[in-house]
Amino acid sequence: MADNNDHLVQSQDPDHPANLIPDLCKRFFHNGWCTGTGGGTSIKKDNHIFIAPSGVQKEMMKSENIFVVEFPTPKYPPSERKYIRKPLDLKPSACTPLFLAAFERGAGCCIHSHSQWCVLVTLLVEKMHGKDACFKISNIEQIKGIPKGPGKGMLGFHDTLRVPIIENTPFEEDLTGALEEAMEKYPDTYAVLVRRHGIYVWGDTVAKAKTQCESLDYLFQLAVEMHKLGLPWLKE
Amino acid sequence: MADNNDHLVQSQDPDHPANLIPDLCKRFFHNGWCTGTGGGTSIKKDNHIFIAPSGVQKEMMKSENIFVVEFPTPKYPPSERKYIRKPLDLKPSACTPLFLAAFERGAGCCIHSHSQWCVLVTLLVEKMHGKDACFKISNIEQIKGIPKGPGKGMLGFHDTLRVPIIENTPFEEDLTGALEEAMEKYPDTYAVLVRRHGIYVWGDTVAKAKTQCESLDYLFQLAVEMHKLGLPWLKE
Amino acid sequence: MADNNDHLVQSQDPDHPANLIPDLCKRFFHNGWCTGTGGGTSIKKDNHIFIAPSGVQKEMMKSENIFVVEFPTPKYPPSERKYIRKPLDLKPSACTPLFLAAFERGAGCCIHSHSQWCVLVTLLVEKMHGKDACFKISNIEQIKGIPKGPGKGMLGFHDTLRVPIIENTPFEEDLTGALEEAMEKYPDTYAVLVRRHGIYVWGDTVAKAKTQCESLDYLFQLAVEMHKLGLPWLKE
Amino acid sequence: MADNNDHLVQSQDPDHPANLIPDLCKRFFHNGWCTGTGGGTSIKKDNHIFIAPSGVQKEMMKSENIFVVEFPTPKYPPSERKYIRKPLDLKPSACTPLFLAAFERGAGCCIHSHSQWCVLVTLLVEKMHGKDACFKISNIEQIKGIPKGPGKGMLGFHDTLRVPIIENTPFEEDLTGALEEAMEKYPDTYAVLVRRHGIYVWGDTVAKAKTQCESLDYLFQLAVEMHKLGLPWLKE
Say how far apart CA D2 and CA A22 lie, in whole Å: 45
* Residue B209 predicted with pLDDT over 60: yes
pLDDT, position D2: 45
Sign of the torsion formed by the C-alpha atoms of A184, A187, A190 and A192: negative
ipTM score here?
A: 0.97
Residue B197 counted as an annotated binding residue: yes
Q: Are strands D67-70 and C198-203 parallel, antiparallel or unpaired?
A: unpaired
* Chain A interface with D: residues with Cβ < 8 Å: 32, 35-38, 57, 114, 116, 119-120, 123-124, 127, 168-170, 194, 196-198, 224, 227-228
pLDDT digits (tens, 9 = 90+) for D47-86: 999 999 999 999 999 999 999 999 999 999 999 999 999 9
**What would the mean pLDDT of A166-182 be, rounded to a whole number?**
96
pLDDT, position C235: 86
pLDDT digits (tens, 9 = 90+) for B88-121: 899 999 999 999 999 999 999 999 999 999 999 9
Q: Are strands A165-166 and A191-194 parallel, antiparallel or unpaired?
A: parallel
pLDDT, position B3: 64
Task: Band the pLDDT of C2: cuts 50, 70, 90.
Answer: very low
**What would the mean pLDDT of B175-200 be, rounded to a whole number?**
98
- How many Å from the N-terminal Cα to the C-terminal Cα in chain A? 60
Interface test with B, best of C25, C59, C119 (most B CBs within 10 A): C119
pLDDT, position B235: 86
pLDDT, position A236: 72
pLDDT digits (tens, 9 = 90+) for A153-163: 999 999 999 99
* Residue D232 predicted with pLDDT over 90: yes
Identify the active-site residue in B70, B104, B126, B141: B141
pLDDT, position A3: 64
Amino acid at D10: Q
Task: Answer yes or no: are the C-beta atoms of B33 and B200 closer than 8 Å.
Answer: no
Task: Kindly provide the residue ranges of all beta strands, DSSP E only, lying in A29-138, ordered along the sequence.
Answer: 40-45, 48-51, 67-70, 83-85, 109-113, 135-138
Poorest-confidence range of A2-16, D48-62, D174-188? Answer: A2-16
Interface test with D, best of C138, C142, C212 (most D CBs within 10 A): C142
In terms of C-beta density within 10 A (0-12 exposed, 13-18 middle, 19 or more buried), how is residue A70 classed?
Answer: middle
Task: Answer yes or no: are the C-beta atoms of D216 and D199 closer than 8 Å.
Answer: yes
In D, minimum Cα distance to A116 occurs at D222
Say how far apart CA B118 and CA A199 lie, in whole Å: 26
Say how far apart CA A226 and CA A220 lie, in whole Å: 10
Nearest to A157 among B36, B120, B170 (CB): B170
Task: Answer yes or no: are the C-beta atoms of C122 and C132 closer than 8 Å.
Answer: no
Q: Which domains are seen in chain D, by residue range? A: 6-228 (3.40.225.10)
Sign of the torsion formed by the C-alpha atoms of C59, C65, C71 and C76: negative
pLDDT, position B49: 98
pLDDT, position B2: 45
Sign of the torsion formed by the C-alpha atoms of D131, D133, D139 and D140: positive
Task: Answer yes or no: are the C-beta atoms of B188 and B217 closer than 8 Å.
Answer: no
Q: What percent of chain C has pLDDT over 90?
A: 97
Nearest to C196 among B139, B156, B207 (CB): B139
Interface contacts (A, B; CB < 8 Å): 65
Looking at the DSSP bridge assignments, the partners of residue B51 are B42, B67
CA nearest D32: which of A219, C22, C225?
Answer: C225
Q: Flag if B124 and A211 touch (Cβ within 8 Å).
A: no
pLDDT, position A2: 45
Q: Rounded to an integer, what is the distance from CA D177 to the centroid of its chain? A: 16
| Residue B35 distance to chain A (closest CA, Å) | 6
pLDDT digits (tens, 9 = 90+) for A94-124: 999 999 999 999 999 999 999 999 999 999 9
Say how far apart CA A92 and CA A100 lie, in whole Å: 13
Task: Answer yes or no: are the C-beta atoms of B166 and B131 closer than 8 Å.
Answer: no
Q: Rounded to an integer, what is the distance from CA C119 to the centroid of its chain? A: 14
Given 3-state DSSP classes, what are the helix, strand and coil percentages for chain C, each rounded to the nearest 5? 40, 20, 40
Task: Kindly provide the residue ranges of all beta strands, DSSP E only, lying in chain D, ordered along the sequence.
Answer: 40-45, 48-51, 67-70, 83-85, 109-113, 135-138, 160-163, 165-166, 191-194, 198-203
* Residue B7 predicted with pLDDT over 80: yes
- How many Å from the N-terminal Cα to the C-terminal Cα in chain B? 60
Q: Are strands B160-163 and B135-138 parallel, antiparallel or unpaired?
A: antiparallel
In B, minimum Cα distance to C198 occurs at B141
Q: Are strands B109-113 and C135-138 parallel, antiparallel or unpaired?
A: unpaired
Q: Flag if D141 and A37 touch (Cβ within 8 Å).
A: no
Say how far apart CA A158 and CA B174 lie, in whole Å: 14
Residues of C classed as catalytic: 141
Write out chain B residues lying below 8 Å of C196, CB-based: 139-141, 157
| Residue B59 is a catalytic residue | no
